[in-house]
Amino acid sequence: MTAPSLKGLGTPEDVWWGPGGLDAVPAVDPATVRPTGRVVVVAPHPDDEVLGVGGTLAAWAPDDVLVVAVTDGEGSHPGSPTLTPAQLVERRAGERRAALAALGVPARVHRLGLPDAGVTAADVAHGLGAVLRAGDTVLAPVADDGHPDHDAVSAGAGLAADRAGVACRRYAVWLWHWARPGQVSFDGARRLVLPGGAVAAKSAAIACFTTQIAPLSDDPRDAPVLPDAVLARFRRDTEILWGPW
């Protein structure tokens, strides 16, 4: 498909709740679809695990979570006069630790160390396959999420899960920005209705990612990656996951 634009404000949240949108997705209590084994969340960049499934993780409060950090997010502010790529790596790792704590999720983080904006499906499949074990449930980006790294992670995670014989459920991040109802198949999707505590925990976790939601300086190269219009789509009281169930 033609690469979607990730610029601008994206699809308004009210459009997603219009005809053919999120209301059409079957609603479930998160507890009814909670995995029994380890949850392995594959995150292309630091914050994707929170944006995509942070509320679900908080609602499940699983005891055994592994976050597979595909990249360290060093490319989020190219040319920044304020933070070097190495400084961004350090800052974003700290933000992730604080965010996972805000979710109440005792997660371990396994770094693959792949280059931001240079992820390949083969590298993801190799790195993820080395840590998967029987009984895991993988959570990874949906196919055609729209960012090249996300799409590579989607393909690689699916391949690794198939090789390991474990379930792979899907979440979206950038799809909510560029797509519209009617362009998205919700076959096999469930709308997890989050309890109030999970919604609040996710909001607190998002607030931890200050390098992404606030300007680093007044320089245009330091502008927020996730302005308020984008964040609105991650402050829902529901999250969408695609099965298998």
Share of the chain above pLDDT 90, in %: 94
- Is the Cβ–Cβ distance between 156 and 68 less than 8 Å? no
Q: What is the model's pLDDT at position 63?
A: 87
Q: What is the model's pLDDT at position 62?
A: 84
CB count within 10 Å of CB 183 equals 13
Q: What is the model's pLDDT at position 238?
A: 98
Q: Where are the beta strands (DSSP E) in the chain?
A: 27-28, 39-43, 65-71, 107-114, 137-141, 167-171, 189-193, 238-242
Share of the chain above pLDDT 70, in %: 99
- Is the Cβ–Cβ distance between 145 and 156 less than 8 Å? no
> Is pLDDT at 2 greater than 80 in this prediction?
no
Q: Which of 100, 103, 96, 46 is nearest to 69 (CA)?
A: 46
In the numeric block, which tokens belong to residue 5? 């634009």
- In order of 158, 171, 207, 231, the CA distances from 154 in angstroms are 6, 10, 26, 22
Question: Does the domain at residues 13-242 carry the CATH identifier 3.30.470.20?
Answer: no
Which sequence spans correspond to the domains of the chain?
13-242
Please give the torsion angle defined by the CA atoms of residues 116, 136, 109 and 45, in that order, rounded to the nearest 10 degrees.
20
Q: What is the model's pLDDT at position 202?
A: 98
Amino acid found at 70:
V
> Is pLDDT at 1 greater than 80 in this prediction?
no
Q: What DSSP character marks residue 155?
A: H
> Is pLDDT at 178 greater than 70 in this prediction?
yes
Task: With H, G, I as helix, E, B as strand and everything else as coil, classify residue 159.
Answer: helix
pLDDT in tens, 70-116: 999 999 999 999 999 999 999 999 999 999 999 999 989 999 999 99
Q: What is the model's pLDDT at position 54?
A: 98
DSSP string, 87-119: HHHHHHHHHHHHHHHHHT--EEEEEEEEPTT--
Q: pTM of the entire structure?
A: 0.97
- Mean per-residue pLDDT, 131-157: 98
Cα 7 to its chain centre, rounded Å, is 18
